[in-house]
Structure 1
Amino acid sequence: MRRSKNRGFGIALGVAIGTSVGVAVNQVAVSIAIGIVVGLIFGSILDKRSQQQEK
């Protein structure tokens, strides 16, 4: 449960940032793809942090 929550939050954040950047360069589709990748990376970083805090 916690993993998917962190990853989902990361993707949402990444897409939000990517979309705002994409609007500036007029390439929204590219920015959403970048946002999803950034979100997955961000989500996995959050997963590692939460796992370390549990120990």
Structure 2
Amino acid sequence: MSLGITLGLIFGLSVFDNIALGLPIGLSIGLAIGTAKDEEAKKKGLVI
């Protein structure tokens, strides 16, 4: 999630000039990346 929040803050500041819009965008990006990584680990049989 930290990577997603970082990207969201950069995106929010550059496009919208508003840090408050970047946080939710980054949070959703981070959750999507984390969910994808969890599913990949489950398919490989790794312990999460």
TM-score range (shorter-chain normalised) is 0.7 to 0.9
Say what the alpha-carbon RMSD is for the aligned residues: 1.3
1:46 matched to 2:29 = no
Equivalenced residues, count: 45
Structure with the larger helix share: 1
In structure 1, what is the Cα distance between the partners aligned to 2:13 and 2:28?
Answer: 18
Could you list the structure 1 runs, at least 4 aligned residues long, displaced by more than 3 angstroms after superposition.
none
**Higher Rg:** 2
TM-score (norm 2): 0.79
Structure 1 unaligned segments of length 5 or more: list them: 1-10
Report deviation, 1:42. 1.1
**Counterpart in the other structure of 1:36:** 27
Output the TM-score relative to the length of structure 1: 0.71
- Per-residue CA deviations over 1:7-46 (Å, capped at 9, x if unaligned) read xxxx111101011111213111111111101111111100
